Structure 1
Amino acid sequence: MRRNWAARLRSVTIDGLRAVVLENERLRVTVVPGKGGDVVEFLHKPTDTDFVWLSPQGLRDPAHHLQGAADDVAQFVDHYEGGWQEIFPSGGAPSEYRGARLAQHGEVAGLPWDCAVTADSEEEVAVRLSVRTRRLPYRVDKTFRLRAGTAALEVESSVHNESDLELHAMWGQHIVFGRPFLRPGARIRLPEGVTVIPHETAVNPRGRRVRAGGPWSWPVVPADGGGETDLSVVPEPGAPGDVVYLTGFTEGWYEIVADVGMRVEWDAEVLPYLWMWQELGAWQDYPWWGRLYTVGLEPFAGMPTDGLARAVANGTALTLGPRGTRTLTMRAEVLA
């Protein structure tokens, strides 16, 4: 019997794509198996706050909009609706690995996933999503779970090497925050001991220096000796965008807090880096056209955003042995 109280599930259609809604007294989370298993809604009911940022171009079905001439950047960017994506087996720019050309942010974010209900009671609801990559021999499974009375989404993901070869991958959670939740002055909090690697340093280790920061601020020191940038405070609209990489997590968590906040926890042994991407409206050309005010805080295995081949070369890529499996647990909880 369908419920409209406690923990419950609904199947809906959004812009022609099948979606599943996990809901309880405090949260409503909408997942789109037909497009990457994307999370396109994370609504905290008591404050009417949706932590998912939605792109101006909206949700698009890649199967209907991809044309034969689409390039390997457009495959992700032209169908990016915001929200939260699973990124695998490559992250960032297009890359080639062992003869396989991998598009922007890899394969699984643009593929349809199978979906099955694994729990449906007043106490908890859960759905399991699965997909196989097409260019590398991987399978990815992901379970979303919501328990009654909580403001926390629990996620367990596994990646499986279905070959008898040792293979590499970049694995990440593309979580991006924006308006109306995000505002200037919002704070980003991290554990003690986290340090910053600017993008220039990740690409060219002699590019510029980094000073370690504390739990609430991470000053970045440019090579020209200019002033420091406190990355723990979200800037005003129009500030320059940037990408940096955070590392040194003994515990995998961050908090981003405006009027309300979210705490994201993950297994830092599996994803030892946190990519921090800021696009605050300064980019006036394709693909953002000055319309973004966003901060991405993205746990990752591998860096920089130059694709799998670069991560293999610098030793940060994830390694999966023959028939090997790696599992990741995560939790995203509203702070109110």
Structure 2
Amino acid sequence: MRRNWAARLRPVTIDGLRAVVLENELLRVTVVPDKGGDVLEFLHKPTDTDFVWLSPQGLRNPHDHLQGAADDVAQFIDHYEGGWQEVFPNGGAPSEYRGARLAQHGEVSGLPWRCEVVADSEEEVAVRLSVRTRRLPYRIEKVFRLRSGTAALEIEGRATNEADLPLHAMWGQHIVYGLPFLRPGARIRLPEGVKVIPHQSAINPAGRRVRAGGPWEWPVVPADGGGETDLSVVQEPGSPSDIVYLTGFDEGWYEISGDIGMRVEWDATLLPYLWMWQELGASTDYPWWGRAYTLGLEPFSSMPTDGLAAAVDNGTALVLGPHETKVLRLRAEVLA
């Protein structure tokens, strides 16, 4: 029976793509199985606050006629609507692994996923999404679950190596925040003992390499040109773009808050890194054109954002044995 109360779900179509809305008294979460299982909306209903950043270019169908002509960066970037993506089996820049050319942020974020309802009651709703990668022999599943009366989305992901030999992978959650939630002065809180590792290839808008060295104790790091930067405070529009890697998590969690907040918890034994990406409007060329004000706090298995081959070389890539399944549990809760 269709419900307009308690926990409920409904299938919808957005710009020609299959989507599903999971909803309860406090949250409305929209997931797009036809585009990587992306989370397009994470709305806290009592305050009318959507946490995810939405790109000015909007939702684009990755299977349209442009896809065939896209290069292995554009496949992700030209169809990036913001929101929250599953990244697997490649993280960051295109990379080649054992003869397979892997595009920006891997395969699964651009593929259509199967979707089935696994719970539909007043107490809880849940859907299971699944997909097989095309370049490597992996099967990925994730279950989105929303319980009545809670402001928390629960996710259980599974990555299975379907080959008879061990394989590597990068696995991450590309979670980015934007307006109306993200504002200058918002605070980021992490567990004690976290270290900041710079991305050695990062350059500022003037073209100079920034923040060589490290790691440093969270949250204060050297600023380009002298002084210090407090990474725990979200900066003003136009502040320099940057990416750093956070590690040393005894427990996987972070909180980001202003007038309202979000707490994300995950298994740090599986995803020991948190990528912190800031695009606050300083990038005025492709693909941002000065229009982005967003911050990503992205649990990841590996680093840096240079692709799977680099992660294999530095020993941070996941290893899945023959027919092994790794299970990731993650929870995202609104702090009101």
TM-score by length of 1: 0.96
Task: Give the total of aligned pairs.
Answer: 330
| CA–CA distance in structure 2, aligned partners of residues 169 and 220 of structure 1 | 30
Structure 1 residue runs of 5 or longer lacking an equivalent are: none
CA contact (8 A) 1:208 1:222 kept: no
Structure 1 residue 251 corresponds to structure 2 residue 256: no
* Residue of structure 1 equivalent to 2:206: none
Counterparts of residues 53-92 of structure 1 (less than 5 Å): 53-92=53-92
- Per the alignment, residue 221 of structure 2 pairs with 220
Does residue 167 of structure 2 align to residue 167 of structure 1? yes
List structure 1 segments (4+ residues) > 3 angstroms apart after TM superposition.
Answer: none
Quote the residue 2:99 is aligned against: 99
* Equivalent position SS for 1:131: strand
Opposite residue 119 of structure 1, the aligned amino acid is A
Contact 2:196/2:214 (CA < 8 Å) preserved in 1?
Answer: no
| 1:48 aligned residue | 48
CA distance in 1, matches of 2:68, 2:147: 43
Q: Give the superposition deviation at 1:223.
A: 8.6
Q: C-alpha separation between the residues in 1 aligned to 2:182 and 2:212?
A: 31
Specify the alignment match of 2:205 in structure 1. Answer: none
Alignment of 1:158 with 2:163, yes or no, is no
Matches within 5 A, 1:108-119: 108-119=108-119
Output the CA distance in 2 between the equivalents of 1:36 and 1:69. 19
The aligned counterpart of 2:196 is: 196
Partner of 1:282 in structure 2?
Answer: 282
Encode CA deviations 1:186-213: one digit per residue, 9 max, x unaligned. Answer: 00000011110010189x9x94133213
Partner deviation per Cα, 1:108-150 (whole Å, 9 max, x = no partner): 0000000000000000000000000000000000000000000
2:215 counterpart residue number: 210
Q: Does the CA-based 8 Å contact 2:50-2:179 persist in structure 1?
A: no
Give the whole-Å Cα distance in 2 for the aligned partners of 1:66 and 1:247.
Answer: 38
Q: Kindly tell me: are residues 223 and 12 of structure 1, through their superposed partners in 2, closer, same or farther at Cα, counting changes over 3 Å?
A: closer
The one-letter code of the counterpart of 1:35 is K
Deviations 1:2-21 (A, max 9, x none): 01100001000001001000
Gaps of 5+ in 2: 203-208
Could you say what secondary structure the match of 1:75 adopts? helix
Counterpart of 2:12 in structure 1 is 12
Shift of 1:228: 1.4
Question: Structure 1 residues 288 and 223 mapped into 2: Cα distance closer, same or farther (>3 Å)?
Answer: closer
- 1:65 Cα deviation after fit: 4.5
The residue aligned with 1:32 is 32
Q: Helix, strand or coil: the match of 1:76?
A: helix
Aligned to 2:68, the other structure's residue is in SS state coil
Cα RMSD after superposing both structures: 1.6
- The percent of aligned pairs where both chains have the same amino acid is 79
Report Cα offsets for 1:280-303 as digits up to 9, x if no partner. 000000000000000000000010
2:228 maps to a residue whose letter is: E
Please give the TM-score of this superposition, normalised by the length of structure 2.
Answer: 0.96
How far residue 222 of structure 1 moved from its aligned partner, in angstroms, is 5.7
